[in-house]
Structure 1
Amino acid sequence: MSISTAVPKARFSAQARLRALQADVMELILERDLEAGDAMPTENELCEVLGVGRNTLRESLKVLQALGVIEIRHGFGMFVAPSNFEALADGLTFRGRLSLRHEGLEALQLVDIRQALESGLISACIAVVSEEHLVRIAAVVENMEVLAQDGEQFVEADAEFHRLLFEPLGNDLLMNLMGVFWKVYRKIHLEIGTGGMDLVRTAAEHRSIYDAVVAQDATTAAALLSSHFDGIRAKIKQFVEAE
């Protein structure tokens, strides 16, 4: 006698209703033109407007809080949540690390996205970067070279280099997304290990990218940024094959 693993219809319907209710709450936020930090309607008002019971509403609100849509401050009420990329970073990190136990597809896709993001935007950065900003980037590159010569890891300097490279665009969303990808990348890097990493070569890659930016050579800078991620991609594939 086989045991069915299908989700019961009643349970599926309940999940669909909860997702619909979550969408309704988000739509209400948009319709009322609420901004981050603004107070949400009370539970009583939401129940009345949305036509649902308190328990059902609270279940959906918990999900929306986990998603970073709303913020529940006990004793004060509910508010539209400020930008919070922690949940996104945690979710992507988990998916990336989980994929390393299998074929590594999602970890590789995350590298692909970061590669496309940086190589695709470098031209715009070159067009607006100032001499003062280039001095700051140069200092980071020099620090990486010194650490590499001493055989020391330079994870923080690496992150700072990429952050400074795209900071001139003044795009807060981009900076947040890059921060998310960096956190994910770092966790994946810790998972697969840093053995065999050529620190001097990695520092030299950053120097070459910097030189191309100084020369305002967008084509070379984009190509160098694109190939810069080949190393982590190769290590992921090697790790997965060894599992």
Structure 2
Amino acid sequence: MGGGRKLAEKVSTLVTDYITQEIKNGKYQIGDKLPSERELTEILSVGRSSVREALSTLVDMGVLEKRMGIGVFVKTTELNHLVDSYVVSALMDTNLSKELLEFRLMLEMAIAGKAAEKATEQDLMKMEKALDMHRKAIECDQPTLKPDELFHKAIVTSTQNSILVKVYEYISDLLHSFKLEMLKVEKKHISLDHHWKIFEAIKNGNEEDAKEAMKEHLIEVSKRYEDIGN
């Protein structure tokens, strides 16, 4: 069963590559409607599920948008910074996804330490606002991806290092669809507790505690990813 799933993912990657290449080549512009799922199935001689998976991935990444009852349309043609063959493969290839998570761990530990040194009162207010949004989302049984991303973004912005911000944004783009998948097995209160620990360490200006709290948080995320794979 695992082999069948991996094969489907590889086929889906081929479909995604085809669509993004057609956009890059200028065949489809912003606002253009793509061929239907059935038409793409016939054009590429692949299964409907692989086409559907590819379209969903590109919708999640903001490349395409679905309009109910009408079809799928191009949302952006600026793909070089957002998606290419390697990126799509990374989202679907287990080993590459693990490498991304390892890199994210190293990057965000460094970011948390620097935030503890540099964060201003305004930065702390942004983090606290994201934490409050996270709490309310849990209480209302709503998705927590937005407040999660806002919290991590507030931390990286507080480093006052434009290179760290750019690298983080790129990694965040790569991991967006992955994060959507992770929501299915998210332990929401645990994630929020980890965020509070990170916030308190940054607020107290404790660089080592901030790094350690971020490490604990992202190791827990990695374990959930392994659970999905198993």
Fold agreement, TM-score > 0.5: yes
Residue 83 (structure 2) pairs with residue 90 (structure 1): yes
Aligned residue for 2:103?
113
Q: Match for 2:160: what amino acid? A: G
1:86, distance to aligned residue in structure 2 (A): 4.7
Unaligned runs of 5+ in 2: 1-77
Work out whether residues 151 and 199 of structure 1, in 8 Å CA contact, stay in contact via their aligned partners in 2. Answer: no
In 1, the alpha carbon distance for the partners of 2:222 and 2:121 equals: 33
1:129, distance to aligned residue in structure 2 (A): 1.3
Aligned residue for 1:11?
none
In 1, the alpha carbon distance for the partners of 2:183 and 2:162 equals: 31
Residue 172 (structure 2) pairs with residue 182 (structure 1): yes
1:196, distance to aligned residue in structure 2 (A): 3.0
Aligned residue for 1:126?
116
> Bigger shift: 126-135 or 229-238?
229-238
Q: 2:148 aligns with which of 158, 170, 181?
A: 158
Work out whether residues 115 and 159 of structure 2, in 8 Å CA contact, stay in contact via their aligned partners in 1. Answer: yes
Q: Match for 2:164: what amino acid? A: L
1:201, distance to aligned residue in structure 2 (A): 1.7
Aligned residue for 2:192?
203
> Structure 1 residues 230 and 86, CA, compared in 2 at 3 Å: closer, same or farther?
farther
Identity percentage of aligned residues: 11
Aligned residue for 1:136?
126
In 2, the alpha carbon distance for the partners of 1:120 and 1:195 equals: 28
In 2, the alpha carbon distance for the partners of 1:153 and 1:135 equals: 22
Which deviations, in whole Å up to 9, do the C-alpha atoms of 1:36-64 show, x marking residues without a partner?
xxxxxxxxxxxxxxxxxxxxxxxxxxxxx
In 1, the alpha carbon distance for the partners of 2:171 and 2:221 equals: 13
SS of equivalent residue, structure 1 residue 229:
helix
Work out whether residues 96 and 188 of structure 1, in 8 Å CA contact, stay in contact via their aligned partners in 2. Answer: no
What is the 5 A alignment of 1:210-221? Answer: 210-221=199-210
In 1, the alpha carbon distance for the partners of 2:153 and 2:133 equals: 15
1:167, distance to aligned residue in structure 2 (A): 1.0
Q: Match for 1:97: what amino acid? A: L
In 2, the alpha carbon distance for the partners of 1:176 and 1:137 equals: 19
Q: Which has the larger radius of gyration?
A: 1
Unaligned runs of 5+ in 1: 1-84
